[in-house]
Structure 1
Amino acid sequence: MEMDAQKRERGMEMDRILCDELLEEVLRRIPLRPSVSADVSLVSKRWLRLYRSSISCLHLRLSPDNCAPTSLSSFLSHFPRLVLLFATIVGGDDVSNFPDQILLSIASSCPKLRALRLKSEPVSLFPLISLSTSCPHLTSLHIAQARPFSFHWLVFLHSLQMLTIVFTPVPGEVDQVDALQRNFNAALKLETLVLDGIQRCDFGFASLWRSCKNLKTLRLYRCDGIGDDTSASSFVDCFNGLQEVELKWCGSIVNDILMRLVENCTSLNTLLIYHVGLKTMALAMSSKLEELSLINCKVEPGLLVTLGQRFRNLRELDLSFNEMLVDEEFISMLASCNCLRGLNVRGCEGLANASVVSMFKSCKQLESVDILNCPGIGAEAVELLVLNCPQLRLIWVEESKLSDVSRSWSSKNFVLVLNV
């Protein structure tokens, strides 16, 4: 109590001296912590008002049991400079319409919003339309969307550059959106598009693909399709200028997408693939590729060697958690990868000391190496790697595999050693 009284007394003294502008500047420099708002409120209502008006970013955890949408609107109205909002909706007694109500409250209360991440159950079409018309300055949006799908609300988000949508599976049949809502023509400014959970027969994607002509990054997670037949035929319309593609848990469609990229995309420089089998059609990808990730993939015998010969400009290579990868094929691949700066083979249990020797013999520019959870690689090989990689600045390896020489050399040459 005495401490609170002292804080209140000091605050009241500053309250008399400082004008609003100076006090706002002081409050803006206070670290954003949950306890700060309570401390500031002890001083005066003026302090609390100015503190809230100085905040540009909020993290909220909402529940139907502790937050009414009308209360949220009132609360958000105290933050006129809010541009970044990250909200997580957790379970309660009734969550059926709660995400929609929350999104409507956000749309009506935060006209200056530039980035919104709403982690929740899917939201429906109407609050998305409200958001797109009420928050025209949004540049980044992360939501979950309910079926049936329609993307025409994106037309009003003229500043949107990054969009992430999670499509939650819905049991049984759902009615599809009529053709007028499904189809639209627009020139969206989207540069990064992340879609999670597209199903093979989902309608509504044709217009989205056609309207994304400025895409630089496309990430598909847990997708077993790219939409219905009309959507699939429009998919390549977003390939012009595409530089990075990431496919994660999309096993059934990976090879089809790779074939389309081979035939229609000439600007790709980064390809990341997770948890699939990879066929040799990947060889036809542009030889300009600089980053390749094949994580936990079942790669055909001999394919890695051919990939190394094909992609001689690789700067980053991630082959982590490929348990079947062995020394012979890995060494043969590295022989052609002379430009590598980053190499990750974490969890590759088939690799031994010979592979580490090939790293510093073939890849003179290596700056970072991850060899965690590779039981076949011992302390002697790690020491050779540290001593013979002059550009090395970062290495992930078990503490038990570091000799005294490795520790001393790493410390002397500013090499950061991590074991997590």
Structure 2
Amino acid sequence: MDKLLCDELVQEVFQRLPPSSSSVSLVSKRWLHLHRTSRTSLTLRLTGDDPTVASISTLLSHYPFLSCLSILSSNPRSKTSLADQFLLLVCTFCAKLHSLRFLAGPVSASSLTSLSAACTQLTSLCINLSRPFFLMWIINFPKLRDLSIRVCSGEIGVEQQDDCGFLADEDSGAELGLESLCLSGIGAGDWGLGWLWRSCRKLKKLQLKSCEGVGDGGSFSSFTTCLQGVQEVELRTSRSILDGVLLKLAENCDSLTSLLVYDGGSREALLRFFSQCHCNLQKLDFRLPLDLKNDHLLAVSTNFRSLSILRLQSCCLVSGEGLKALGTAVNCGLEELALINCDVVEREPGLLSALGQNLRKLRKLDLSHNEMLLDKEFMSMLVSCNYLVDLRVRGCKGLTNASIFSMIKSCKCLERVDIMHCSGIQAEAIESFVVNSPQLKWVQVEQSKISDAAKTWASHKFIEAVA
């Protein structure tokens, strides 16, 4: 049989197999070679002591057709010099790359210049840089659309210092093709970002993580330049700049459709944004334990009636009044609701029932980690939510088998369900759920709760059961 299968056919089979089936390459040396040459995606995790350059070189040489590569290191002491050597190996063996995630240590500007010359098809790049960092090398990647930079402490190479003169030419008139930009760890005094903001006129998505600034003083005035066409903004643990960024968004960004804010912000700035922003927001995702209050939700219900996704996590000061007002305002359009670890779910009886009656077109519902949520409250909402396709109640320890039977009765369209760590739900209810859910495709539950009969039914109905 091995002789009857030509190389091209074997490679075609390998490309259609899931990654977990890679052991088939052990059949013979020929199959091993064909398996490697058929791979277009590879992830390398460097653990323990730094591996030798020779070992990485040998490994990469076996995969000549990679289009997507991730190299990650768990060693926090990785140096720029070693990371540069690994990156030069990527330049040597992976010329066909479209996507590179290189987090094996901070890299220098010179090695990135070499990367741009070798991997001319790169559209996505994720890297670490050490201070002081310089960004004019981005010009050398004309096809780059997705860029992620994490700034970390590290040694400063000679190449980076030499690049400073080039950086000073901020009037170069470059216009970058970036559509998605993620910056992590930016400090208030980091230079050079003003040029970046002025050059990013095509941005659709902007992410700022653990940032204390958007560059030096002059950079903030340039920041508004990149906001004109932005549709998605994510601000994570960036409390010191959040107020200013929200103000700039409200004043300069009419195209914003999605906003995520995690762990940071002032109540006043949030309220000003909700009151002054004129964009057509469709998605709000907040994790603000002590900042989000009732008046914010009331402002959202007044100004953003086109909202289709609302996700709240650990929002302790939100009350039922705000959520009910919001539910009434967006009742026709809201398709996804998440109230994760929000004690208002447990604190105010009847809230879920009211939300269910107003939000009858919900397709996704996430009530995870509300440990004291009881069957009565949960079931009173499900009665009205007949169009749910995705339901998650992970960690809701107060739910019992009764909730599962209510899901079977009320939610005939369910396709994906997460019921992990629900100690009150037993194996017999899981079995009944698998048997009687006609659209179910994926369920996440403890292995110990999946009976043999449930496994058989899941297999027959092509349901993926994940433990």
* Shorter-chain TM-score above 0.5: yes
Which stretch has the larger CA shift, 381-390 or 364-373?
Answer: 381-390
The aligned amino acid for 1:280 is L
Instruction: Specify the alignment match of 1:150 in structure 2.
Output: 134
Q: Report the CA distance shift for 1:94/1:166 in structure 2 as closer, same or farther (over 3 A).
A: closer
Question: CA RMSD for the aligned pairs?
Answer: 3.9
**1:202 Cα deviation from its structure 2 partner:** 2.0
1:233 to 199, 221, 225: 221
Secondary structure in 2 matching 1:234: helix
1:347 maps to which residue?
369
Aligned partner (choices 123, 128, 152) of residue 139 of structure 1: 123
Per-residue displacement from partner, 1:315-347 (whole Å, max 9, x unpaired)? 222231234553369546666544432121211
Aligned to 1:117: 101
Q: Which segment drifts farther, 70-79 or 153-162? A: 70-79
Q: Which residue of 1 aligns with 2:418?
A: 396
Instruction: Measure, in 2, the Cα distance between the counterparts of 1:148 and 1:298.
Output: 40
> For residue 167 of structure 1, what is the aligned residue in structure 2?
151
Change (3 A) 1:238 1:28: same
Q: 1:291 aligns with which of 304, 309, 332?
A: 309
Q: How far does residue 77 in structure 1 lie from its aligned partner after superposition? A: 4.8
CA distance in 1, matches of 2:365, 2:188: 35
- Pick one of 85, 94, 100 that aligns with 1:101: 85
- Equivalent residue number for residue 327 of structure 1: 348
Contact 1:271 1:292 in 2 (8 A): no
Q: CA separation of 1:161/1:257 partners in 2, compared to 1, >3 Å: closer, same or farther?
A: same
The one-letter amino acid paired with 1:319 is L
CA contact 2:183–2:209 (8 Å) conserved in 1:
yes
Structure 1 vs Structure 2: percent identity of aligned residues?
32
3-state SS of 2:224 partner:
helix
Contact 2:400/2:424 (8 A) holds in 1: no
Deviation at 1:361, TM superposition (A): 5.2
Matched position secondary structure for 1:29: helix
For 2:184 and 2:83, the matched residues in 1 are separated by 18
Give the aligned partner of residue 418 of structure 1.
444
Q: Distance in 2 between matches of 1:34 and 1:390?
A: 37
Once residues 215 and 334 of structure 1 are traced to their aligned partners in structure 2, the CA distance between those partners, rounded to angstroms, is 37
Determine if contact 2:397/2:424 at 8 Å carries over to the other structure.
Answer: no
Question: Using a 3 Å threshold, how does the CA distance of structure 1 residues 338 and 271 change in structure 2: closer, same or farther?
Answer: farther
1:201-280 equivalences under 5 Å are: 201-276=189-264, 279-280=270-271
Q: Is the aligned partner of 1:366 residue 2:350?
A: no
Paired with 1:334 and 1:232, the residues of 2 have a C-alpha distance of 44
Shift in Å, 1:127 = 0.9
Work out the CA distance in 2 between the residues paired with 1:144 and 1:378. Answer: 47
TM-score by length of 2: 0.71
**Amino acid corresponding to residue 217 of structure 1 in structure 2:** K
Residue 179 of structure 1: how far off its partner (Å)? 6.9
Q: Shift of the alpha carbon at 1:209? A: 2.3
- Quickly say closer, same or farther: Cα 1:265–1:90, change in 2 above 3 A: same
- Please tell me the residue identity of whatever aligns with 2:308: E
Contact kept, 8 Å, 2:401 with 2:429, in 1: the verdict is: no
Q: Give the secondary-structure state (helix, strand or coil) at the position aligned to 1:319.
A: strand
Contact 1:169 1:197 in 2 (8 A): no
Local SS of the residue matching 1:408: helix
Which deviates more, 263-272 or 108-117?
263-272
Q: Measure the CA separation in 2 of the matches of 1:57 and 1:323.
A: 42
**Alpha-carbon spacing, 1:241–1:410, altered in 2? closer, same or farther (3 Å):** farther
Aligned residue pairs total 399
Are the structure 2 counterparts of residues 128 and 36 from structure 1 closer, same or farther at C-alpha, using a change threshold of 3 Å? Answer: farther
1:307 deviates by: 4.5
TM, length-normalised to structure 1: 0.77
The answer to whether the aligner puts 1:26 opposite 2:10 as a matched pair is yes
Please give the alpha-carbon distance, in whole angstroms, between the structure 1 residues aligned to 2:365 and 2:123.
33
Give the superposition deviation at 1:299: 4.5
How many angstroms does 1:102 deviate by? 1.0
How far apart are the structure 1 equivalents of 2:77 and 2:166? 37
User: What are the superposed Cα offsets for residues 183-219 of structure 1, whole Å, 9 maximum, x if unpaired?
Assistant: 3543322222222222233222222223222222222
Unaligned 5+ residue runs, structure 2?
Answer: 282-303, 446-466
Q: Please state how far the C-alpha of 1:66 moved relative to its aligned partner.
A: 7.0
Residue 3 of structure 1 corresponds to none
- Name the CA shift for 1:99/1:170 in 2 (closer, same or farther; >3 Å): closer
Corresponding residue for residue 335 of structure 2: 315
Residue equivalent to 1:6? none
C-alpha distance in 2 between matches for 1:343 and 1:255: 30
Alignment match, 2:290: none
Deviates more, 1:202-211 or 1:58-67: 58-67
Offset at 1:137?
0.5
